[in-house]
Amino acid sequence: MTTAIDYNVKNMKKIIDFVLKNRLLIVVIGIFIIVGGYFSYQQLPIDAFPDVSPTLVQVFTTTDGLAPEEIEKYITFPVEVAMNGLPNIKNIRSVSNFGLSVVNIYFEDGTDIYFCRQLVNERLQEAREEIPEGFGDPQMGPISTGMGLILFYYLDDQSGKYSLEELRTIQDWLIKYQLQTVPGVTEVLGIGGWEKQFHINMDPNGLLRYNITINEVVEQIKRNNLNVGASFIEKDAEEFIVRSVGLATKIADLENIIIKAEDGVPVYLKHLAKVKIGGAVRRGVQTRNGEKEVVSGMVVKLYGTNSSTVISRVEQKMEEINKILPEDIKLVPYYQQKTLVEAAVNTVTTALWQGILLVVIILMLFMGAIRPSIVVALSIPFSIMFAFIGMRFFNISINLMSFGGLAIAIGMMVDASIVLVENIERIKNEFTTKESLMRIVARAGKEVLRPIFFAIIIIITVFIPLFTLQGVEGKTFKPLAYTISLAMLGSLLFAVVLAPVLSSLIMKKNKNNTKNAQKENWIIRLLLVFYKPMLTFFVKVRMAAVVLAILILCVGAIIFPQLGSEFTPTLQEGTLVLRLSMAPSISLTESTRITMLAEKRLLKIPEITEVITRIGRGEVGAHTDPINSAEIYIILKEQNQWRDDTNQEDLEKIIRKEFGNIPGVLTNFTQPIRMTVDELLEGVRAELAIKLFGDDLEILKKKAEEIAAVIRTVSGAADIQVDQISGKPQLRITVDRHAIARYGINLADVQEVIRTSIGGEIAGQIFEGIRRFNILVRFAPKFRRDLNAIKDILIDSPNGIKVPLSQLAKIEEVVGPRQITREQSQRFISIQCNVEDRDIGSFVKEGQNKIDEKIKLPAGYLVTWGGQFKLQQEANKRFAIVVPVTLLLIFFLLFSSFNSLKNSFLILLNIPLALVGGIVALWLTGQNLSVPASVGFIALFGIALENGMVLVTYFNQLLREGLKIDEVSVKGALLRLRPVLMTAITTALGLIPLLIASGTGSEVQRPLATVVVGGLFTSTILTLLVLPALYKWFAIKVEREIR
Amino acid sequence: MNNYKKLQHNIIVLSFVLVLTMLLSISCSSNANNNKQLKDDTISKVKKTDGVHTDEEHNEDKAIKLTAEEQKEFQIEIKKVKPGIIQDHIDLTGEIIPDPTKLAHMTPRFSGIVKEVKKTIGDKVKKGEIIAIIESNESLVTYKMKSAINGTVIDMHMTIGESVNDNSHSITVANLKTVWGNFSIYQKDLSKIKINQSVLITTMSELYKSNGSISYISPMIDEKTRTASARVLLKNNDGIWKPGMFVTAKVLTMQKNVPMVVSKNALQLVDGHIVVFVREKKGFRAQAITTGLQNGQYVEVISGLHQGQEYISKGAFMLKAEIEKESFGDDHGH
């Protein structure tokens, strides 16, 4: 062992000697790193938060008019099947809704998104072949993530003279294409208003009168709306291109299409139908302020691009667009991620600067000199720049968490340099030698660099468990762990390589040594007045130190159980969204009406200036919400104009209270990014999810209810909920095969008429320049609006007889599925539940047994048990290994640093005391135990050890120099008061800005900072009072023999 | 996300335990109880805080309170249960044909050459008025074709000099003071259509309207079209009903006085029962009812309500949704 240590020491010496010999080279390298860091910084993407979206490719297929069952059968299933067996695939989930199929293909985290898309695209070709003609074309969603919705705007028509169709046309044909040209924008999705269509509202009596079928009308329209090219002719020396122009361009053109000629009398379309401009079938509406519908658009950012630059480009483009729009129409953004990005980056940048400032002040105060302070302070930019280079290397964007990591590390970055520079100062002052500054630096370095090295390595090591975090927490906190580790590595590099060089260059050798030698800094002297008697007391009465330590631990043990717990505190995005969930059977008209009522109510609340709501979904790509779901974006006054000086969370409560209840509407608050990400994330939010897989929806529903009933009898079950898979009313038309056989009608003929007359059929397009609008042929509303009207729809038989539909089919109102969800290519229903006052493992076992006993499942039906508890078990297993291993690793590091078990134990004592400080701090500030708090605890592990190491190293050194143990304890502690306090205070002060910050994102950093500051407090007490006292029991033995 | 809370505890507890054991073993203090208690507390403390909706039993009897302002805000309308008339209609399509009993076909008796044409299509003629004069081929004697009735010439194919020798050259005179509406009845409607039911006849463009009643229903069903036909006699003094015109007939198939009717919009389906929301002291309550006759607007109530009771005639869906609120939960697309 000793040889290894010697080797280490020698190495350290070698490094210092080498460094000091090649000072110019080192300075140049340092400059290179700083410059490189700056360039990396400029190239780093800037986001608000780390992107926690899963690696996911979405496949959307729209087919107007198909019910969920048909969507599943004809579209979802072929797509799913095609995707099976792709490499790196994690899961396939699908939702078949009315008119929309969404298949989510989840890949393992970290798989390249373009690679995934390529794989999916290849397989989509197969799927397309399987999907019947006319049932839609599956398309991949935008190349984006949950963070991709960067800007929402609406069209403000100040004059009120534009119809919703006109506004939507402007959105779809002008604004959309303009915005899509902006680099970094992958998609612009419109919603609201009406997509313009030419409606041909057929009068069925007219069809009867002239003996025409609706499908003949469709055909005729198609055949009378064409342009053709006929190459060219030569005339003299010139060429003439020949084209025949026959495209309909206006309503009159359509009206005058001849459908049939009888006895030379033409039957025009206008005789059979009313032609007018109308809106396409829509599944989404956008409303504003409870007053009116508006047209709106969403800008989707390309995956991996820099949010802030894309947003500013989009803004610029919007200004240009505003100039070319008709005078009364303006684009008004109502949600921008930019404000969020700016706010988040601002919060941490401010904290960063404040931290730097505070740290520098402390340095100046404690060092009492400018030059050493400069050397130490230079560690900050160096470490940060080093971290930037690392971030570029690891592809980490600048965001709240990664920058937050830097802000947290500010105080720690200087620690290593402080210890070194302080030692140089001390030696310089202490020994009025004639040694050159170089020699002093070398000596000081040799004394402290080893513990510094190990201390920093330990700090980095403690972050290892964070790197094993998975899922959302992993994605959220890994950037932080990365930047802290990188910055610490940078600071180590600085301390070992650059600090000695800079010290030798910048620091001055004292001119009048004698004077300075006695003169300690005044603060230190002041502190020493209090510290010295306390220290001597504890060193003398060692049991007092033990009692103190135990007392502190007891406090921690008492307080700890009182802490509440929560997840990651919710990031306040600064934009409130109130989500309304209405009955699944609701119509869009009714949900729009109710939403506008809700909007009116919200506007009565004085803090709210404007509300804009998206109901259902617009153009496919971003949202898949059904029409019973509405999301109200609440635009608030500036915070200082609120009635009470409250924060966003309290305001939510106020709004909730004043908003009250609207019958049949469930409300909950959410935020834009969170909402989108939640939607993309797979899985259920309850602890336990029992999934029943099977084919028949009825059986699934019945059995799921049975299972739920059984689970209720298991003790500890709480919040049991069965998925609501049905609830959407259907008008089911079942064609009677005997009836149609009697008339000689084919099933398809009947269904075609049903589809065309009720749903409508597209009969080509009307072109206005390059803008194209569909021509929709269907019955006039009067003839298809209710059951009786539908019963009377006439079907043509081959021998010319017309038969009403009710004579050929059974028409009934039934309740059908609201949507069909599938996982791993099978339908399922999930029963969610939480477990209270009981170990979840035994609960699952009991539940499984009971279900096996009491419930008989038909063949092909399968129950699986999953949910958070499974992830939890996996994560627990992982942590059960990682945490002890990390602790062991730390212990080894300590041991190899001190070569003494006792010393290592002594230093490890810091950890529990530090934890107590963190717990008390949380308790005092009324915060809960949360993920960031535990990240704080992890960071504490490392930080708490650092000071102890510095101190014990020095004790050992003094011991080796031949002092008595008690003397060693007192003298060592007194001499090391300055570096220990300095490192502790700089670290703590570096965090103060995060503690007091109230900006966006501060709520995530605060628990972390609280824990570290609190922990530092107790661990510093321990280091300064208890550790010296206990040192006697833990001191190394060898020294006495030498003595 | 729950799991991470447990993790956090585990990390902390684990490290606590680890380090505390070290501390204890060395400082020989008896802190063990504390430690154990701490751990126990930790485990019992670990509970989820996120609410999944409580699975409350649906309760149809739950009263829903709405203030007057809220009723106004939500545009909820209230009506009283009262006696009413339930009517139902069936729409039939058909055409106008001349009244065959007031129709005359005049055919040239002998083949010959048309010598003179006095009237043309659309001209009014009196009984005995000469329409054309024809010279017989056999006798070379001219004879007159006279109208057999008072009416209008609606069809004739004769020009001077034309040779007429068969029935295709007949002259049709119709008296259009009354016309027939001839309507097809599909099998499904046959049972509902009866003689003497009153009928509103309209043209396709709804330009003309006229009342009448069904005077005849064919006893046979057409083999080809599988429809029966119904006849409505129409007075046509203004001449608006032109034979060949395409018309629809709204037949009043049912009319009944019932003691209790409610608006059809008031009916909601809750848990498989048809309910109406009635006003009570506590608020609005879903009342299951049995229904009788109904048409597009009103429904007869057989039981469940009493006359004069106030019920929600418009906006009842909101209350139904309120009852079902617990069940539709926070589902979001997925």
Q: Which of A94, A106, A263, A666 would best serve as a mutation to test chain B binding (most B beta carbons within 10 A)?
A: A666
State which residue of chain B sits closest to A667, comparing Cα positions: B330
Q: B327 vs chain A: nearest CA distance in angstroms?
A: 7
Measured between beta carbons, the chain A residues lying within 8 angstroms of B325 are 583, 664-666
Buried-exposed string A921-955: b where 16+ CB fall within 10 A, e elsewhere:
bbbeeebbbbbbbbbbbbbbbbbbbbbbbbbbbbb
Please compute the mean of the pLDDT values over residues A616-630 and round it to a whole number: 84
The average confidence (pLDDT) of chain A is 84
Contact A879, B10 (CB under 8 A): yes
Measured between beta carbons, the chain B residues lying within 8 angstroms of A1015 are none
Contact B173, B156 (CB under 8 A): no
State which residue of chain A sits closest to B46, comparing Cα positions: A565
Radius of gyration over every alpha carbon of chain A, rounded to an integer in angstroms: 37
SS3 A467: helix
**Residue B180 predicted with pLDDT over 60:** yes
Helices (H), A720-816: 737-743, 747-754, 787-791
Helices A337-367 and A672-680, axial angle in degrees (round to 10): 110
* Residues A266, B301: Cα–Cα separation, whole Å: 52
Closest alpha carbon to B299 in B329, B318, B275 = B275
Closest alpha carbon to A193 in A172, A216, A223, A214 = A172
Confidence bin at A170 (pLDDT 50/70/90): very high
Closest alpha carbon to A170 in A202, A147, A193 = A193
**Residue A1019 predicted with pLDDT over 90:** no
**Residue A641 predicted with pLDDT over 90:** no
Q: B258-279, pLDDT tens digit by residue?
A: 899 999 889 988 878 889 999 8
Q: B59-72, pLDDT tens digit by residue?
A: 445 688 888 888 88
* Residues A974, A510: Cα–Cα separation, whole Å: 23
Cβ separation A686–B248 shorter than 8 A? no
Contact A918, B12 (CB under 8 A): no
**Residue A388 predicted with pLDDT over 90:** yes
* Region of poorest pLDDT, from A718-722, A808-812, A917-921, B159-163: A718-722
Contact B148, B104 (CB under 8 A): yes
**So what's the pLDDT on residue B254?**
84
Q: Which residues pair with A233 in a beta bridge?
A: A240
* Residues A752, A298: Cα–Cα separation, whole Å: 36
The dihedral over CA atoms of B113, B114, B116, B122, expressed in degrees to the nearest 10, equals 180
Measured between beta carbons, the chain B residues lying within 8 angstroms of A666 are 325, 328-330
Question: Regarding beta strands A608-616 and A802-804, do their DSSP bridges make them parallel or antiparallel, or are they unpaired?
Answer: unpaired
Angle A401-A402-A403 from CA coordinates, rounded to 5°: 90
Other Cβ atoms less than 10 A from the Cβ of B195: the count is 11
**Residue B14 predicted with pLDDT over 70:** no
SS3 B174: strand
Helices A370-394 and A400-430, axial angle in degrees (round to 10): 150
* Region of poorest pLDDT, from A210-224, A281-295, A663-677: A663-677
**So what's the pLDDT on residue B31?**
34
* Residues A367, A361: Cα–Cα separation, whole Å: 10
Q: A26-60, pLDDT tens digit by residue?
A: 899 999 999 999 999 888 888 878 887 888 899 99
Cβ separation A567–B5 shorter than 8 A? yes
Distances in whole angstroms, Cα of residue A679 to Cα of each of A284, A933, A1000: 18, 26, 23
Q: What is the distance in angstroms between the CA of the first residue and the CA of the last residue of chain A? A: 21
Q: Which of A98, A100, A104, A205 would best serve as a mutation to test chain B binding (most B beta carbons within 10 A)?
A: A205
Q: A181-219, pLDDT tens digit by residue?
A: 999 999 999 999 899 999 999 998 888 888 888 989 999
Percent helix, strand, coil in chain B (nearest 5)?
Answer: 20, 40, 35
**So what's the pLDDT on residue B32?**
32
**Residue A17 predicted with pLDDT over 70:** yes
Measured between beta carbons, the chain B residues lying within 8 angstroms of A662 are 74, 318
**Residue A476 predicted with pLDDT over 70:** yes
Buried-exposed string A20-59: b where 16+ CB fall within 10 A, e elsewhere:
beebeebeeebeebbeebeebbeebbbbbbbbbbbbbbbb
User: Could you write out the DSSP letters of every residue in A306-364?
Assistant: -HHHHHHHHHHHHHHHHHHS-TTEEEEEEEEHHHHHHHHHHHHHHHHHHHHHHHHHHHH
**Residue A435 predicted with pLDDT over 50:** yes
State which residue of chain A sits closest to B190, comparing Cα positions: A807
Confidence bin at B48 (pLDDT 50/70/90): very low
Please compute the mean of the pLDDT values over residues A336-359 and round it to a whole number: 82
**So what's the pLDDT on residue A945?**
82
Range list of β-strands (E), A108-147: 139-140
Cβ separation A679–B333 shorter than 8 A? yes
Closest alpha carbon to B288 in B309, B303, B306, B300 = B303
Sign of the CA dihedral running A857, A861, A862, A863 = negative
Contact A98, A76 (CB under 8 A): no
Other Cβ atoms less than 10 A from the Cβ of B189: the count is 21
Enter the tokens of residue A667: 């409300």
CA A146 to chain centre: 7
Measured between beta carbons, the chain A residues lying within 8 angstroms of B54 are 719
Helices A1002-1021 and A400-430, axial angle in degrees (round to 10): 30
Cβ separation B328–A583 shorter than 8 A? yes
Q: Which secondary structure element, helix H or strand E, spans residue A887, and what is its range?
A: helix A868-898
Enter the tokens of residue A896: 């190899």
Contact A239, A310 (CB under 8 A): no
Contact A776, A197 (CB under 8 A): yes
Confidence bin at A527 (pLDDT 50/70/90): confident
Confidence bin at B183 (pLDDT 50/70/90): very high
Sign of the CA dihedral running A28, A31, A37, A42 = negative
**Residue A318 predicted with pLDDT over 90:** yes
Measured between beta carbons, the chain B residues lying within 8 angstroms of A586 are 317, 321
A626 or A876, higher pLDDT: A626
**So what's the pLDDT on residue A10?**
63
Q: A921 vs chain B: nearest CA distance in angstroms?
A: 15
Q: A818 vs chain B: nearest CA distance in angstroms?
A: 10
Q: A558-598, pLDDT tens digit by residue?
A: 888 877 766 566 677 778 888 888 888 899 999 999 999 99
**So what's the pLDDT on residue A188?**
93
SS3 annotation, A659-696: HCCCCCCEEEEECHHHHHHHHHCCCCCCCEEEEEECCC
**So what's the pLDDT on residue B161?**
86
Other Cβ atoms less than 10 A from the Cβ of A63: the count is 19
Q: A444-453, pLDDT tens digit by residue?
A: 888 788 888 8
**So what's the pLDDT on residue B15?**
53
**Residue A74 predicted with pLDDT over 60:** yes
**Residue B333 predicted with pLDDT over 60:** no
Ramachandran assignment for A136, one of left (phi > 0), alpha (psi -120 to 50 degrees), beta (any other): left
**Which DSSP category does A213 fall into?**
-
Q: Which secondary structure element, helix H or strand E, spans residue A1038, and what is its range?
A: helix A1038-1042
Angle A817-A823-A827 from CA coordinates, rounded to 5°: 40
pTM for this one? 0.79
Which residues, 6 or more positions from A578, have their beta carbon under 8 angstroms from its beta carbon?
A: A598, A602, A631, A632, A634, A655, A659, A667, A668, A669
Identity at A815, one-letter amino acid code? V
* Residues A85, A540: Cα–Cα separation, whole Å: 72
Distances in whole angstroms, Cα of residue A668 to Cα of each of A656, A661, A710, A798, B241: 9, 11, 30, 57, 63
Contact A104, A112 (CB under 8 A): no
Closest alpha carbon to A480 in A886, A877, A1004, A879 = A1004
Cβ separation B15–A546 shorter than 8 A? no
* Residues A392, A41: Cα–Cα separation, whole Å: 8
Which residue from A568, A582, A601 is facing B321, i.e. has the nearest CB?
Answer: A582
Contact A82, A123 (CB under 8 A): yes
**Residue A557 predicted with pLDDT over 50:** yes
Q: Order of strands across the sheet with B171-174?
A: B103-106, B171-174, B151-156, B124-125
Closest alpha carbon to A571 in A930, A55, A940, A41 = A930
Burial label, A252 (beta-carbon count in 10 A; 0-12, 13-18, 19+): exposed
* Residues A682, A100: Cα–Cα separation, whole Å: 19
Please compute the mean of the pLDDT values over residues A766-772 and round it to a whole number: 87
